[in-house]
Structures are given as C-alpha cells and as structure tokens.
Amino acid sequence: MTYSYDPTQIRAGGKDQMRFELGDTQVGGGAKTCALADEEYEAVLAGLKEGKKAWLFAKLSLLEAILLKMSYQVDTKIDVLQYSFGNRADRWQKMYETLKKQALATASIPTLAPSITEMPPYFHKGMEENLAARHGGGGPPSPFRRMTT
C-alpha cells in the first residue's frame, strides 16, 4: 500500500484532489495517519464519469469507506498516554452527513448527458412546411403548412 499526496495536483481531479477535499493529507505516517491508501482512492476514481454528481457520489463512497475503517479503531488510555480516534471519526461523520444531504438533493435534479446536448435540436425552422403542397402535390389544406404555389 502506498500513501502519497501532491498539493500541486489538487485541481487535477484525481486522488490528490480527493485527499485534499476529505482532509486526508497527512501521508508522512503511512497507514497510521492516513484514512485510505492511494490504491483505494484510485480504485473508486477509476471508472468515474465526468461531472460534479459523479465526483460527489465518489466522495460519498470514500467517506463511507473511511467511516467503516474508523469504526474498528477504539480510544485507548494507558496511564497518562491516551489515543482518541473517536475525534477523527466524528469529523468525518459530520462531513458524511452533510455530503449525503447534498448528494440526495442533487440526485433528484435531472441532468442531460453530454452526448445529448451535442446533438442538433429536433425542432427546426421550416419543419412544418409541406413541400408536396408547395409544388402542387395536392392534399387537404392544413393549418400547419404554408399554401404557396
């Protein structure tokens, strides 16, 4: 397992940006200080589609993975030495609840796929004109076609 973070890549849309947004940037201690490994971030982001919704749901699934990992860590106190892992989990739990509300709100808003927006419009100027009626092809008059000769 590898643990790396490059702050110059926080706008590149990869694991470094996700680490930054989740606050999982202390990579110096490896598994002791990081919530997830690079491979875990990359596995979730591998098949990610473009768009804010996909990023939001990937972030939500990574937060779920972090919370599952944190659930196995317990607070420990030995004489004067004390480890409080619950504080880390509380911070991510609050972030998860906020993000879940945001994800549910955006999931109910329909969006178009980029391939649909690139298509020409279905309706166009002159589509109601009947070329057969224009050139004397006959047929009953219609209020939706121009009757020109």
Residue 127 CB contacts under 8 Å (≥ 6 apart), including other chains: none
In sequence order, what are the residues at sequence separation of 6 or more whose Cβ sits closer than 8 angstroms to the Cβ of residue 27? 3, 4, 5, 33, 34
Q: What is the pLDDT of residues 90-128, one digit of tens each?
A: 778 888 888 888 888 877 777 777 777 777 777 878 777
Helix axes 86-107, 52-70, angle to 10 degrees: 150
Q: Is the pTM of this model over 0.85?
A: no
Mean pLDDT over residues 124-146, rounded?
62
Amino acid at position 75, single letter: D
- The per-residue pLDDT for 9 is 84
The predicted structure's pLDDT at residue 135: 54
Res. 141: pLDDT tops 70: no
| Residue 78 main-chain phi, psi, to 5 deg | -125, 105
Q: pLDDT tens-digit profile of 29-69?
A: 877 777 888 888 888 888 777 777 888 888 888 888 888 88
Q: Specify the amino acid at residue 41.
A: Y
